Amino acid sequence: MHYDSLRLEDDGNLATLTLNRPEKRNAISAEMIVDLLAALEECANGSARAVILTGAGKAFCAGMDLNYLKEFPSQSPEQITADAKRIANLFRRIWSFPKPLIAAVNGAAIAGGSGMATLCDFTLATPESTFGYTEVRIGFMPAIVSSFLVRQIGEKRARDLLMSGRVFTAPEALSLGLVSEIVPSEKLLDRARELAAALASMSPTALAYTKRLLVKFAEANLDRELEIAIEESARIRTTADFREGLAAFLEKRKPVWEKS
């Protein structure tokens, strides 16, 4: 299949998905969500034994696209909920993907980009890579990723990252367990391919069964939590603080929040 927002390269044992909007720092658009879900499905049904997810240019993914964000205030309640569900479906698909999935984080992975990068089975990053769940800065909330993140690093650390909205470095991400390995930028894709080759040498049945078991351990509770997260993600988009935060972000000014 042809994809407008990404490239899919498949050499048989290995598939590489490259987010391909370098002029937008690979920001997430509605089209990219659709493309990623379709490409992951193609990889799941294809011959590849492992998949690498990376970004074109100098960033992995800088979060939501500005044009995508601009649509939020004008959406109907049904559109708001449907959009939150699409993002939840993408994150859950990455988390539960049946084959080994390796993120090669070649730069900034911010907001939804952090979610995509850290939900892969293996997350390789360069020393210059940065991460951050920055949604609170614009009056939004990192609702969908929160349930996954608590499982990954524990509630106390998740509260720090989700509530502060701070950007953090690859070494800190490594110490938290969100990054598997830090690799020099010039060796990032080579290391990702080396890891993919090692995984491809394993029993594909054993790997698939292991991944399925890990998913089964958590999916019942996770799916209930995602339903709550979808509701909360939709609800905050109706608030004055969200509208003000988004407007301030787009206008490059400091937001003026409502008094609580």
Parallel, antiparallel or unpaired: strands 167-169 and 130-132? antiparallel
135 is catalytic: yes
* For helices 204-236 and 143-153, angle between their N-to-C axes, nearest 10 degrees: 130
Residue 50 φ/ψ, nearest 5 degrees = -155, 155
Among the listed residues 128, 135, 155, 258, the single catalytic one is 135
- Residues that are catalytic: 135
